[in-house]
Structure 1
Amino acid sequence: MSQVKSGKCVCCSRITYLTFHHLIPRKMHRRAFFKKHYSKEQLASGVLVCRQCHNGIHRFYDEMTLAKQLSSLSRLKADAALADYFAWVSRQRIKAVTKHQ
């Protein structure tokens, strides 16, 4: 998803520009385990998050951990380390969101 969209981040609740986070990282889609156990729709599913939360998710965990243990929004938000990070991000200033296009 290359389009820039603004809205509410599902992790930190800030209104800002959003990016698409695959709940099962794309790097894992070609592996036999994921091809066998998940449909193409499940592999393509994701959530819209701000860049800061998206970077944090990938900084805290590698792709395999995200794919096998944190493959839903509820699991991401329930993780103690990420919950603390999202709470910190929610208190950070954001640049003004302006309409492009």
Structure 2
Amino acid sequence: MTDNDNDNYDAFRDCLFSAVVGKLTTGPKKPPKKASLASQAAGAPAEPDPSELAEFSDYLATEIFSSLPEQLQRLSHQSLRDEALSEKWSLPLTLTVLEELVAHISGDVIDSLTAYSLIVPPESDVESFLAPVLSGYISAVTTPPPKWIDTRTDACEICEREWVPMTYHHLIPKQVHAKVLKRNWHDEHQLNSVAWLCRACHSFVHRMASNEELARDWYTVDLICQREDVQKWAQWVRRVRWKKT
């Protein structure tokens, strides 16, 4: 694997981990169904444990990422200059593309997703679970370096982990900039303030409050980190450790 391949795998694993955590910590609690030997080996816990959840997510990421086409595994901002690749992997992904990708995922992985209630047929399927994971991955690996790159930190500003990919979070979400200025919540020069967060913490922040609430009440990292739920989350996610490859 080249460094870029490793970076892409790390980005995919981070997106998948966030999806798994989101499902298991906010979704309905259902007893796991009988799983295959592979999923039993992964060990489905009754309550999400950071180390076991990391191991399970790593297993899923390795199996699913290795099943993806090589061009998707090595996707980058520069590679999208190829018109065929740009058309193929433009967002949102079509159902045809998702079905094509899912067709190459092993039955053991699908059994594991079902055992953890990450998919609950017929209400949800592998395509619906994988769509946001792939969308997050494609966005992460194809986004050009932002103008705020000089503000980048070595560690997530919430959980302080250094061994996971960083993403930038608009502290005042772009979708509500017009409302922010109209209501005089903040000065215009504050609109492009960002925080550098790991994917898991980034997803947590957007689950904890709406865009309007983030802009009005939680527009700095210090304010976000004052919340009790964020402090508990940070303590939990700090215990996640990826195995060395």
What's the TM-score, normalizing by structure 2?
0.35
CA pair 92-39 structure 1, distance change in 2 beyond 3 A: same
Task: Give the deviation of 1:95 after TM superposition.
Answer: 6.8
Report if aligned partners of 1:8, 1:14 keep a CA contact under 8 Å in 2.
yes
Q: What is the correspondence of 1:75-94 to structure 2 with a 5 Å cutoff? A: 75-94=223-242
Q: Which structure features the higher share of strand residues?
A: 1
Q: What is the correspondence of 1:7-18 to structure 2 with a 5 Å cutoff? A: 7-15=154-162, 16-18=164-166
Task: Give the deviation of 1:40 after TM superposition.
Answer: 3.2
Q: Residues 64-89 of structure 1: CA distance to partner in whole angstroms, max 9, x if unpaired? A: 11111111111100011111111111
Consecutive unaligned residues of structure 1, counting only runs of 5 or more, are 97-101
Task: Give the deviation of 1:54 after TM superposition.
Answer: 0.1
Say whether 1:63 aligns with 2:196.
no
Aligned residue for 2:154, secondary structure, equals strand
Say whether 1:41 aligns with 2:186.
no
Aligned residue for 1:20, secondary structure, equals strand
Task: Give the deviation of 1:57 after TM superposition.
Answer: 0.5
CA distance in 2, matches of 1:94, 1:26: 32
Report if aligned partners of 1:6, 1:17 keep a CA contact under 8 Å in 2.
no
CA pair 95-24 structure 1, distance change in 2 beyond 3 A: farther
Max radius of gyration: which structure? 2
Task: Give the deviation of 1:55 after TM superposition.
Answer: 0.3
CA distance in 1, matches of 2:243, 2:196: 18
CA distance in 1, matches of 2:225, 2:210: 16
Tell me: higher relative CO, structure 1 or 2? Use CA pairs within 8 A at least 6 residues apart: 1
CA pair 95-52 structure 1, distance change in 2 beyond 3 A: farther
CA RMSD in angstroms comes to 2.4
CA distance in 2, matches of 1:68, 1:93: 34
What's the TM-score, normalizing by structure 1?
0.80
CA distance in 2, matches of 1:6, 1:24: 19
Consecutive unaligned residues of structure 2, counting only runs of 5 or more, are 1-139, 147-151
